[in-house]
Structures are given as structure tokens and as C-alpha cells.
Amino acid sequence: MLETDGLLKEFGGLVATDDVDLSVESGERVSIIGPNGAGKSTLINLITRRLDPTDGDIRFKGESIVGLKPHQVVQRGVSKSFQTASIFPDLTVRENAEIAALAAEHGEFGLNFLTHRNDLSSVRELAEETLADVGLLDRADTEAVDLPYGDKRRLEIGIALAAEPDLLLMDEPTAGMSPEETQSTVDLIERVKAERGLTFVLVEHDMEIVFSISDRIVVLNRGRVIAEGTPDEIRGNPDVQEAYLGG
Ligand code: ADP
Ligand code: MG
């Protein structure tokens, strides 16, 4: 589903990702771990086209996406939760989900919708389904600004899901969450995987979560992939322990 080939990103003299070959199969859940500054967020932002690579290629479903704009990548089926300011605070939870569904079906800002006067019912349905998936239906009429922190993050996941992606990228989805919020986010990831067969690439610092939900783990250190394998393989890998787990 996703392949990066020799992906290099330099910021001035600093090499943030160094010759990264990442490959993700359809239906797989891949976690990317590594110390602070390892290049994890940079890698995610390259895939979503928020950043231009210095060199290398990114293929999604076999086609290079390096020449595409971020919204074109979304339309091909790659979505990322926690794009900053993805929530409209003054709108209700439901309105936020509807805008996300509208944008996904009709292009950024729903412009096609405005010109074609389509039927809104499919947008409403998709928004409703998405809110059910993220457990926010009972808060649908709450203004987003009034949601507790964990629910806001869930709404952000919902906004990403409303684009009906094939690949969902998440950069530290549980950061700043309470243990209960973290658990419900993990449950959400499990449920969405089971129901929608989504492919995930997850950046996560909580090792317990990483070991419990990943099919495969990729370890970055100073921009380079230093190990990859199943949770069991990574747990026992001495290079990983030295670079990351402090062992
Ligand atoms: P991680 O997410 O693994 O903590 P990042 O991908 O955020 O790491 O950062 C990797 C390296 O690239 C770090 O050294 C960071 O300071 C640097 N970096 C990230 N974004 C930028 C940027 N926009 N401009 C300059 N340097 C950056
Ligand atoms: Mg980061």
C-alpha cells in the first residue's frame, strides 16, 4: 500500500530522515518508534506531503505521490489525524464531522458540492457513522470548544476517518491523554481496524501500546531505520535497547 524509497529530508545541514525505505502492506498496523528527534514526525509529514523530500520517492498503491499536493494525497486515501487546527471550535461536533465528510466527498472546502447542489444525505450519514465509530454520538450537539481534551483528540481522529482513508497516519495520538483516554483511544484503533480494515502507520511513544497493537515496528534513530520486526523481535533487539529503550 505504501512504500518509501531512499527517502531523504534535510533541513539546512541537518539530516532528519536518511535513506528511509519503509514498506507497509494493506491491512497492516506499523508503528514507528525512536528517540526524540529521530525523524518520526518528519517521515509522517513527508508522506502526507506537508514536507517536500530532498531526495527519494514515496509510492501509494503503486503510484508516486511526491508531485501531489496534500489534499490530493487525502483524496487518494491517505489521511492523518491531528493536523493542527483541524477542528472548528465554534461548530458542534456533528457539524465538524459533516464538514470533514463534505470535504472528503467533494474536494477541499466542498466546492464541487456548492456548484453541483448534491444531496446532503450521504454526507450526513457518513458523519453519523464516523461519530459512532469514535464514540461521540452522544456529544454530537456539543460545541467542539467545550469538549474535554480526550474527546477533542477523538474528534480529530473522526475528522481523519470521515475522509474514508485506506491508510491512516497518527503522530502520537495519545500524547497528553489520561490513562482512561489513552485506553479508549487504543480501543478505538482496534475497533476501526476490525470494522474498516484500515491500514495504520502510528508514531507512538508509549511502548505498552506499541507492543500491543502493532503487527510490525520500525525503529528510527537519527533519521535512519536501525531495526524493524514484530513486537517480539524488537523487544529483544540489542541495538534498539541501546538506542531507544535505554538498556
Ligand atoms: P521526532 O518526531 O522523531 O521527534 P522530528 O521528525 O520532529 O523528530 O525531527 C527530526 C529532526 O529534524 C530533529 O533534529 C528536528 O529538530 C529537525 N526538524 C524537524 N522539523 C524541522 C524543521 N521544520 N526545520 C528544521 N529542522 C527540523
Ligand atoms: Mg515527533
9 in contact with ligand 1, CB cutoff 6 A: no
For residue 148, give every residue at least 6 positions away whose Cβ sits within 8 Å of its Cβ, in sequence order, or none: none
Q: Which atom of ligand 1 is nearest to the CA of 39?
A: 6
How is the chain split into domains, by residue range?
A: 1-77+167-176+198-247, 84-164
**Which pLDDT score is estimated for 247?**
42
pLDDT in tens, 90-110: 999 999 999 888 877 665 555
Other Cβ atoms within 10 Å of 122 Cβ, number: 12
144 in contact with ligand 1, CB cutoff 6 A: no
Q: Which atom of ligand 1 is nearest to the CA of 43?
A: 6
Which parts of the chain have pLDDT scores under 70? 82-85, 105-119, 244-247
53 in contact with ligand 1, CB cutoff 6 A: no
ipTM: 0.98
37 in contact with ligand 1, CB cutoff 6 A: yes
Residues 154, 81: Cα–Cα separation, whole Å: 9
Domain spanning 1-77+167-176+198-247, CATH class: alpha beta
**Which pLDDT score is estimated for 202?**
95
Q: Report every protein residue that has its C-beta within 5 angstroms of ion ligand 2.
A: 40-41
pLDDT in tens, 173-185: 888 888 988 888 8
**Which pLDDT score is estimated for 176?**
83
